[in-house]
Amino acid sequence: MPTTTPAPPRWPGWTLLLAVILVLVGLPWITSGYAGRIIINTCRNLVLALSFDIVGGYTGYINLGHAAFFGIGAYAFGICVRAGMPVLLAGGAAILLTALFAALISYPFFRLRGPYFALATFGLLKLCEELALTLSGLTGGSGGLSVVWPENLTLSYFLNLSLAVCTFLTVWLVTRSRFGLGLVSIREDEPVARAFGVSVVWYKCAALVVSALPAAALGPVYLSDRLYINPGEMFGLETALMPITMAILGGSGLLIGPVVGVAFLSLVQEVLWTQLGVLRLASLGLVLALVGLFMPGGLVRLPPVYTRLCRWGLVQEG
Q: Is 169 in the site for another protein (CB under 8 A)?
A: no
- Specify the stretch interacting with another protein by CB under 8 A; choose among 92-100, 166-174, 202-210, 234-242: 234-242
3-state SS of the chain is: CCCCCCCCCCHHHHHHHHHHHHHHHHHHHCCCHHHHHHHHHHHHHHHHHHHHHHHHHHCCCCCCCCHHHHHHHHHHHHHHHHCCCCHHHHHHHHHHHHHHHHHHHHHHHCCCCHHHHHHHHHHHHHHHHHHHHHCHHHHCHHHCEECCCCCCHHHHHHHHHHHHHHHHHHHHHHHHCHHHHHHHHHHHCHHHHHHCCCCHHHHHHHHHHHHHHHHHHHHHHHHHHHCEECHHHHHCHHHHHHHHHHHHHHHCCCCHHHHHHHHHHHHHHHHHHHHCCCCHHHHHHHHHHHHHHHCCCCHHHCHHHHHHHHHCCCCCCC
Contacting range for another protein; rule: CB under 8 A; set: 14-22, 82-90, 93-101, 169-177: 14-22
Please choose, out of 47-55, 78-86, 115-123, 157-165, the segment that lies near another protein by the rule CB under 8 A.
Answer: 115-123
For residue 127, the minimal CB distance to another protein (Å) is: 4
Instruction: Map residues 290-309 to x or -, x wherever contact with another protein holds by CB under 8 A.
Output: xxxx--xxx-----------
Q: Which residues 27-46 are close enough to bind another protein by CB under 8 A?
A: 27, 30-38, 41
Closest CB 141 distance from another protein, rounded Å: 7
68 binds another protein (CB under 8 A): no
* Per CB under 8 A, 50 contacts another protein: no
Closer residue to another protein in complex, CB, 93/230: 230
Q: Is residue 166 near another protein by the rule CB under 8 A?
A: no
Among 25, 92, 96, 126, contact with another protein (rule: CB under 8 A): 126
Closest distance of CB 89 from another protein, Å: 25
